[in-house]
Amino acid sequence: MPWSEALGRLRGAQKRAAGVSLYSRFVNRPMGRFLAATSYVVGLTPNQVTLVSAAFSFGGVAVLALAGPSWWAGAVVWSALAVGFAFDSADGQLARLRGGGSPAGEWLDHVVDCAKITALHTAVLITFYRHPGHFDTGSDAWLLLPLGFLLAAIVTFFGGLLTEQLKPKPAPGSAAAPPSTVRAVALLPVDHGVFCLVFLLLGGGRVFLWGYALLGAAAVLYLPLFLGKWFRELSRPAGAGAGG
């Protein structure tokens, strides 16, 4: 199958847009579609694409933790994380193009995602600890910031993943809920792609600190909203709300 045909098939095999932020819908998924088509042509498997995603993401984490905080380091970190996030979208799209994924592939994808979230906030903690003068953090209490952000991010990730596993699947052929632009905008502060952008401010010291803190506050504030929504969805009787 030529690249153009693969790309065309992927356009018609996208996940539902409901509940997805504007960044993921209009930036990350299209990038992932391009990478999935390219991966298909060169013969990569979905698991190999997942590992490519991990290589970029953990490369960015390593630069964040080990290099001194600077504008160039921030640009490298953002680039690596953004490309890794695009490949994270590409592995699932490639699996659908090839006729469906496998439980092992889905397991690998989720394990890499969980490790990426944990490592990324841990790297922020390390750079705060190593360079307090750059970030103007006069107290070790600032080290609690990445720990709190990590807690909110991990619980959100696990809660959403578990909800998808436990929720009844929609009936085949059922109409998809129309995407809400308001919801897509509201989800931007907790989108991973938007979060990656904050690392472009790494060289700014205090500017990065406050940008990271604002996104951390958003993660903490959104968490109970997500948990409440997911609990209500799982508390509905089977079949409730299903279209006839």
Grouping H, G, I as helix, E, B as strand and the rest as coil, residue 171 is coil
Integer Cα distance of 219 and 153 in angstroms: 7
Angle, alpha carbons 53-54-60 (nearest 5°): 95
- Using the structure block, give the residue that is written with the tokens 């209490």: 141
pLDDT (0 to 100) of residue 60: 98
pLDDT (0 to 100) of residue 102: 87
Integer Cα distance of 26 and 119 in angstroms: 27
What crossing angle do the helices spanning 29-42 and 3-11 adopt, rounded to 10°? 140
Integer Cα distance of 165 and 159 in angstroms: 10
Full-model pTM:
0.90
pLDDT (0 to 100) of residue 244: 33
Superfamily of domain 3-166+181-235: CDP-alcohol phosphotransferase transmembrane (TM) domain (1.20.120.1760)
Chain centroid to CA 91: how far? 13
Q: What is the pLDDT of residues 97-151, one digit of tens each?
A: 887 778 999 999 999 999 999 999 999 999 999 999 999 988 899 999 999 999 9
Task: Give the Cβ contact number of residue 178 at 10 Å.
Answer: 9
pLDDT (0 to 100) of residue 243: 42
pLDDT (0 to 100) of residue 13: 61
Q: What residues contact 193, with CB distance under 8 A and at least 6 apart?
A: 21, 23, 24, 27, 28, 82, 85
Where the chain has pLDDT below 70, the residues are 1-3, 6, 12-18, 170-177, 238-244
pLDDT (0 to 100) of residue 168: 79
pLDDT (0 to 100) of residue 176: 59
pLDDT (0 to 100) of residue 240: 53
